Amino acid sequence: MKVMLRVFLEAKKYWFYLIMALVALIISTIAGFYAPWALRELTSIAMEGHPDFASKAFSIGLLLLLTTALQSGGASISGYLNHHAALHYVADLRTELYTKLQHMGLKFFNKNRTGDLTSRVINDSMEAEILLAHVIPDLVVNILTFIGVGILLFTINVKLALLSLVTIPFLIAITLWQSKYLSPIWNQNSKVRGELSGTVQDNFSGIREIQIFNQQDTEKRKISSLSLKHTKAYLKASFFFETTYPLLAFFTALGSVAVIIYGGLLVERQEATIGDIVAFIMYLNMFYEPVKSFSSIAEMAGNAVAGCRRVFEVMDESPDVKEVPNAKKLSQVHGKIEFRNLSFNYTPEITVLENINLIIEPGQTVALVGTTGVGKTTIASLLNRFYDPHKGSIFIDEIDIKNVTLKSLRDNISMVLQDTFLFNGTVYENIVYGWKDASKEQVIQATKAANAHEFIQELENGYDTIIGERGIRLSGGQKQRLSIARAILRNSPILILDEATSALDTKTEREIQAALDRISKDRTTIVIAHRLSTIRNADKIVVLDGTGIAEIGTHDELIRYHGIYSSLYNSQAS
Ligand SMILES: Nc1ncnc2c1ncn2[C@@H]1O[C@H](COP(=O)(O)OP(=O)(O)OP(=O)(O)O)[C@@H](O)[C@H]1O
């Protein structure tokens, strides 16, 4: 109920449509009450042998035509308006959910599979349409019918009406029992659907690995087992539905049987007319309908509420990286960076960084080196506030990065990563991704600096070539050059190069290295590299070992020191 209420309240923008739909629905439902009444009147005047029967029948027929027109017209107007409101709300909900997801920290994405999140944005959000355009209107129709037809039954004959109430508790008991069991099944069902969609998405992203390692059969089995799990969850729900439905039909029929038998007696005693009995039986079916359909509405609502709950779960998730209230804008910085007493771990069991103290002066190039998994990329991620440190702080130009807006912080930092991510668009669109207003000349300048201009021109459509999902139509080195061009174009005062040249051959690497050295001259640069020959000229080399900094110095100083760096360098040189 809470979820349903939340959907309704959040759809406030569309209340006008929903209210208009409600009015049309009420008119349509009430108009539908007339048909049995018309039959009752017709039977009565026929039985009485009314002299003006034909003209009376004509007026009844006209009225029936009018009410039928109102019934169908109202239903269709209401259906359209409800869908208009519901589908627009779904569009808003999807955008809101997507926006929320965009601002979640990486910790959240480490915990949740992208396929499952996609399923929440695409499928689960659509369940709000079911709630607004189907469940709520159906509930209104049913409540109105139950009350309205109930009044009519009592108006026709109190004794018969009281008798027909006898079956109601049975019908209610069955539907309550059904919905009690159905709700957890629907929750499970949505969860399995998310799992299935997550795995399918993972597999398509990793299709190359599946084919390289010939794991098609294993993956097929995994998908088949998840599909079966989904089927079983559905089957469990339909089991309850299918077993209880005949029971509901039986008790409904029992009500009509009782009315026929007792009604016959009342007609004989002249306490009721034949017209009353005919109309009564017709109304009785309408009267039981809301109780009977309660279970299918409950089923639909259960499914829809489970989907919406999964959407709201993410909406209510508080981001682990938050902006402080009144966060300041970090304007164009000089680029002094200080890590002060910094400690961080991804999981409570393993400490990645402990008590890191490091000052990088504006314009300096500092290289982070150390064995794989020591925490170099983590330092870069902390500087970007993809995560927050558990202890200590990071300052840029003496300002704690926790006190500035995330946008302004990230506007000051460009990153080139080892795993280059490119979007499925043109080469040009990917280069200007960080600065949409760049001119063509600026783009060409950046691609020339990144040694990418030449190969781009040789592509089928030059800068307008579509590069495919994740840049699949480009080589690793080409992708990396585009990502370097993108970072150069962004021209931010802090540049992070995380294994930025690792996918390049030695000749191209040397050429790009020269470009990178040039652009890093007038900005603070953090270089993460395994190939130590690429960072020889850094102003400072920081060697990480264990959870902390083991050595700091220039290349020559560290070589003379004969420590970790010197032995790493010598082992690479030999
Ligand atoms: N998202 C994550 N969740 C949990 N642990 C992580 C996560 N990312 C990294 N780690 C762990 O944190 C440690 C530091 O990782 P990090 O990527 O910073 O190392 P690195 O020095 O950059 O390694 P490499 O040179 O191989 O790129 C590693 O032990 C890694 O397994």
What CATH number corresponds to the domain at position 453?
3.40.50.300
Q: How far is the CA of 356 from the centre of ligand 1 (A)?
A: 16
Distance 107 CA to ligand 1 centre (A): 13
Structure tokens belonging to residue 138 = 């159906």
For residue range 87-124, list pLDDT tens digits in order: 999 999 999 999 999 888 888 888 888 888 988 999 89
- Predicted pLDDT of residue 399: 94
In angstroms, rounded to a whole number, what is the distance separating the alpha carbons of residues 103 and 410? Answer: 13
Ligand 1 atom 26, closest CA: 372
Two tokens at 331? 């304007």
Tokens (6 digits) for 398? 């003496």
Domain match, 253 and 128 both: yes
Task: Give the pLDDT band of residue 319 (cuts 50, 70, 90).
Answer: confident
Flag whether 136 is in a domain. Answer: yes
Residue whose pair of structure tokens reads 């009977």 in the numeric block: 292
CB 420 within 8 A of CB 479: yes
Q: SS3 of 311, please?
A: helix
The residue type found at 410 is R
Residue 224 has what pLDDT?
Answer: 94
Closest C-alpha to ligand 1, atom 14: 375
For residue 5, which amino acid is it? L
Residue 270 has pLDDT above 80, yes or no: yes
For the segment 486-492, the average pLDDT, to the nearest whole number, is: 88
* Confidence band of 206 (pLDDT split at 50, 70, 90): confident
Claim to verify: residue 244 and residue 386 sit in the same structural domain: no
Name the residue of 114, 321, 352, 356 to mutate for ligand 1: max ligand atoms within 8 A of Cβ.
352
Among residues 6, 68, 82, the alpha carbon closest in space to that of 33 is found at 68
- Whole-angstrom distance, CA of residue 198 vs CA of residue 195: 5
Is the pLDDT reported for residue 137 higher than 80? yes
Between CA 381 and CA 385, with CA 383 as vertex, the angle to 5 degrees is 70
Confidence of residue 29 (pLDDT cuts 50, 70, 90): very high
- Of 504, 519, 530, nearest to 452 by C-alpha is 504
* Least confident segment among 157-166, 406-415, 499-508: 499-508
DSSP 413: E
The number of beta carbons lying within 10 Å of the beta carbon of residue 180 is 11
DSSP string, 296-308: HHHHHHHHHHHHH
Which ligand 1 atom minimizes the distance to the CA of 375? 18
Q: Which of 344, 496, 478 is nearest to 413 (CA)?
A: 496
Please give the pLDDT value at position 473.
75
Q: Which domain holds residue 363?
A: 334-412+493-574
Closest CA to 196 of 217, 227, 221: 227
CA dist 8 and 90 (Å) reads 12
Rounded average pLDDT over 465-493: 83
Say whether both 65 and 125 belong to one domain: yes
For the chain, first and last CA: distance in Å?
Answer: 71
Q: Is residue 328 part of a domain?
A: no
Residue labelled with tokens 């890191």: 356
442 CA to centre of ligand 1 in angstroms: 35
Phi, psi of 344 (to 5 degrees): -155, 145
pLDDT at 503: 65
| CA 425 – CA 276 distance, rounded (Å) | 71
Is the domain of 381 the same as that of 429?
A: no
- The better pLDDT of the pair 474, 485 is held by 485
Dihedral of alpha carbons 88, 93, 94, 98, sign: positive
CA of 531 to the centre of ligand 1 (A): 18
Q: Which of 25-29, 179-183, 411-415 has the lowest mean pLDDT?
A: 179-183
Of 281-285, 497-501, 549-553, least confident by mean pLDDT is: 497-501
Ligand 1 pocket: which of 107, 114, 378 to mutate (most atoms <8 Å of CB)? Answer: 378
Do 473 and 506 lie in one domain? The reply is no
Tell me whether residue 327 is in a domain: no
b or e along 508-520 (b: 16 or more beta carbons within 10 Å of the residue's beta carbon)?
A: bbebbbebbeebb
Q: Average of pLDDT values for 493-518?
A: 77
Q: Is residue 326 part of a domain?
A: no
Average pLDDT, the chain: 88
> How many residues does this entry show for the chain?
574
Strands 337-344 and 391-396: antiparallel
Structural domains of the chain, count: 3
Give the C-alpha separation, 425 to 466, whole Å: 5
CATH code (residue 237): 1.20.1560.10
Check whether residue 142 and residue 156 sit in a common domain: yes
Q: Which phi and psi (to 5°) does residue 400 adopt?
A: -65, 125
Q: Which residues line ligand 1 (CB under 6 A)?
A: 110, 346-347, 352, 370, 372-378
Q: What are the tokens at 127?
A: 């369940």
Q: Of 491, 507, 539, which closes a domain? A: 491
Exposed / middle / buried, residue 110 (Cβ in 10 Å: 0-12, 13-18, 19+): exposed
In angstroms, the CA 125 to CA 131 distance is 11
Q: Would you state the pLDDT for residue 59?
A: 92
Residue 178 has pLDDT above 90, yes or no: no
Q: Which atom number of ligand 1 is nearest to the Cα of residue 544?
A: 21
Give nearest CA residue, ligand 1 atom 29. Answer: 373
Among 471, 491, 511, residue at a domain's last position? 491
Measured between alpha carbons, how far is 81 from 504 in angstroms, rounded to an integer? Answer: 58
Q: Give the closest residue (by CA) to ligand 1 atom 30.
A: 373
Tell how far the Cα of 64 is from the centroid of ligand 1, in angstroms: 75
Mean pLDDT of 345-349: 87
Report pLDDT for 205.
Answer: 80
Distance 383 CA to ligand 1 centre (A): 15
Does residue 395 lie in a domain region?
yes
Three-state DSSP class for residue 254: helix
382 C-alpha vs ligand 1 centroid, how far in Å? Answer: 12
> Do the Cβ atoms of 259 and 282 come closer than 8 Å?
no
Query: Tell me, what's the pLDDT at 256?
Result: 87
Q: Is the ipTM of this complex over 0.90?
A: yes
Q: Is the pLDDT score of 189 beyond 70? A: yes
Mean pLDDT for the stretch of residues 389-400: 94
| Average pLDDT of span 554-558 | 93
For residue 246, what pLDDT band results from cuts at 50, 70 and 90? confident
Tokens describing residue 520: 């890093």
CA of 379 to the centre of ligand 1 (A): 10
Name the residue with higher pLDDT: 265 or 1: 265
Q: How far apart are CA 381 and CA 168, in angstroms?
A: 63
The stretch 249-259 carries a mean pLDDT of: 87
Q: How far is the CA of 353 from the centre of ligand 1 (A)?
A: 10
Confidence of residue 416 (pLDDT cuts 50, 70, 90): confident
CB 285 within 8 A of CB 256: yes
Domain assignment present for 322: no
Strands 365-369 and 540-545: parallel
Pick the residue with more confidence: 476 or 167?
167
Residue 463 included in any domain: yes
Distance CA 266, CA 498 (A): 91
Q: With 70 as the cut, is the pLDDT of residue 574 above it?
A: no
Give ∠ CA 75-76-79 in degrees, rounded to 5. Answer: 85
Contact 240, 298 (CB under 8 A): no
Integer CA distances (angstroms), 479 to 207, 423, 438, 452, in order: 19, 11, 20, 9
Same domain, 128 and 185: yes
Residue in 106, 347, 374 to alter for ligand 1 test, most ligand atoms within 8 A of Cβ: 374
- Residue 174's pLDDT band (boundaries 50, 70, 90)? confident
* Stronger pLDDT, 510 or 158, i.e. the higher one: 158
Q: Which residue has the higher pLDDT, 51 or 562?
A: 562
pLDDT one-digit tens code per residue, 355-365: 999 999 999 99
What tens digit of pLDDT does each residue of 218-237 get?
A: 899 999 999 998 898 888 87
Mean pLDDT of 24-38: 94
Statement to judge: residues 248 and 356 lie in one domain:
no
> Is residue 82 situated within a structural domain?
yes
The pair of structure tokens assigned to 224 is 């088949």
Whether residue 309 sits in one domain with residue 213 = yes
Whether residues 98 and 203 fall in one domain? yes
- Max Cα–Cα distance, the chain, nearest Å: 124
Mean pLDDT, range 305-313, rounded to an integer: 92
Closest listed residue to residue 398, CA positions, set 492, 330, 491: 330
Q: Which residue CA neighbors atom 2 of ligand 1 most closely? A: 346
326: number of Cβ within 10 Å:
7
Share of the chain above pLDDT 90, in %: 44
Same domain for 430 and 527? no
Last residue of a domain, one of 436, 461, 491: 491
376 Cα–ligand 1 center, Å = 8
Same-domain pairing of 485 and 497: no
Which of the two residues, 401 and 213, has the higher pLDDT score? 401
How many angstroms from the chain centroid is the CA of residue 554?
A: 48
Measured by CA distance, the residue closest to atom 13 of ligand 1 is 373
CA-proximal residue: ligand 1, atom 10 (nearest): 346
Say how far apart CA 409 and CA 522 lie, in whole Å.
Answer: 19
